[in-house]
Amino acid sequence: DTGVSQDPRHKITKRGQNVTFRCDPISEHNRLYWYRQTLGQGPEFLTYFQNEAQLEKSRLLSDRFSAERPKGSFSTLEIQRTEQGDSAMYLCASSPRATNTEAFFGQGTRLTVV
């Protein structure tokens, strides 16, 4: 078990392009979270999955953002028509069944929109 894996680690894109990030949680973790961290700030919650069901979405997740977790395994976060304000670190975390107090974070994907 190598922990939560995120790909890519870094992404530079031009404004207006679409980007997709992938998160592979720790195997058998049924809970998966996405957070966004901008420079000088703490991470902010974006969305939560339990298995394949997306159970909560933050208001930060505009219509340009979509997240999926097909089959309850890996998850993808897509940003359409990127804007400079989307530049941030996108963090994924997972936690096992029957606990809401132990989240394991991936190393994040740093997005730069130019």
Partner 1 sequence: AQSVTQLDSQVPVFEEAPVELRCNYSSSVSVYLFWYVQYPNQGLQLLLKYLSGSTLVKGINGFEAEFNKSQTSFHLRKPSVHISDTAEYFCAVIPGGTSYGKLTFGQGTILTVHP
Contacts with partner 1, residue ranges (CB under 8 A): 4, 6, 31, 33, 35, 40-45, 48, 50, 55-56, 91, 93, 95, 99-108, 110
Sequence-separated (6 or more) residues with CB below 8 Å from residue 63: none
At CA 15, angle to CA 32 and CA 10, rounded to 5?
Answer: 45
- Smallest distance from partner 1 to CB 38, Å: 11
Please state whether beta strands 65-68 and 53-57 pair in parallel, antiparallel, or not at all (unpaired). Answer: unpaired
Least distance in angstroms from the C-beta of 69 to partner 1: 14
Q: 21 or 33, CB closer to partner 1?
A: 33
For partner 1, give the closer residue by CB, 82 or 95.
Answer: 95
Q: How far is the CB of 16 from partner 1 (least distance, A)?
A: 26
Q: Which is nearer to partner 1, 74 or 105 (CB)?
A: 105
**What value does the CA radius of gyration of the chain take, rounded to a whole number of Å?**
13
CA angle 107, 95, 72 (to 5 degrees): 95
